[in-house]
Structure 1
C-alpha cells in the first residue's frame, strides 16, 4: 500500500527520534518536523488507524512492523542520498534537504544504482 510523502516523513521522524530518545511523543515529532501540534495529532491518528504506529496511554509512539519497514526504507534512502550528494560536493545541509525531496519518488532500480555509486564514492 502506497502512503503519502507526509506520512513517510512522520514515520521517518519517529524512527530517527527513537534512535536518540528513550520515548517519542507527538510533541517531539512536531518539534522535529516544525509542524503544529494539532497537525501532528491528526497525522498520528491517521497513522494509528492505518496500523503504522501504536500509542500508549502516556502518549508514547511506537512504530508497528508496517510503519517500521517504511521508516527504515525512507531513512536508508535519506542517508544514502545525503552521502552521495555530499560526496559530489554539495554542502551537507543542502545535501540533506535535497535528499529529503528526492527520497520519496525514486524507483527502487534508480535508488539501487545511486546506492552503488554512493558506496563507490565514499569508500
Structure 2
C-alpha cells in the first residue's frame, strides 16, 4: 500500500498522542492535526483498509505493528530535522513546519546517511 504524506501525518499523530495520552480517539487526532473530524474518519478508514490501524469497540485507535513501524520512521525523521533546523537557528515553529515537509520526501538512503554523518560528527565533537 502506497501511503501519502497525509496518511503518514495521521500515523505519526496517533503515535505521538498514544505516547502522551495512552488512548487515542479520532477527535484527538483532529485536534492534533487541525483537521475536521470527517477528514479523520476518512483517513482512519483508508488506514484500516491498508492494515495500518485498527479501531476497537470503544472507538479507540491503535496502530498495527506495520503502522507503528511507519509512524516511528516518520516521527524519527521529524524529530531529527526539527532538532537540526533549530540548532541551525531556525525559529522552532518554522523548523516544525519545514521538518514536516522534509520527512515525507527524503529517501531512506539520504536520511540514513545524514543521520550517520551527524552522529559521527557529534561523537567526534564530544556531544
Q: TM-score range by the shorter chain?
A: over 0.9
Q: Which residue pairs with 1:112 in the alignment? A: 112
Deviation string, structure 1 residues 63-89 (Cα, Å, up to 9, x no partner): 001111110000000000111111111
Q: Which residue pairs with 1:100 in the alignment? A: 100
Name the SS of the counterpart of 1:62 in structure 2. Answer: strand
Deviation string, structure 1 residues 29-79 (Cα, Å, up to 9, x no partner): 000000000110011011111110110111100000111111000000000
Q: Which residue pairs with 1:91 in the alignment? A: 91
Displacement of 1:22 after TM fit? 2.2
Q: Post-superposition, which runs of at least 4 consecutive aligned residues in structure 1 deviate over 3 A? A: 116-122
TM-score (norm 2): 0.90
* Structure 1 unaligned spans of 5+: none
Q: Which residue pairs with 1:39 in the alignment? A: 39
> Aligned in 2, Cα 1:90/1:117: closer, same or farther, shift over 3 Å?
farther
> Structure 1 residue 24 and structure 2 residue 24: aligned?
yes
Whole-angstrom CA distance in 2 between matches of 1:65 and 1:22: 16
Over the aligned positions, Cα root-mean-square deviation in angstroms equals 1.5
Greater radius of gyration (CA): 2
TM-score (norm 1): 0.93
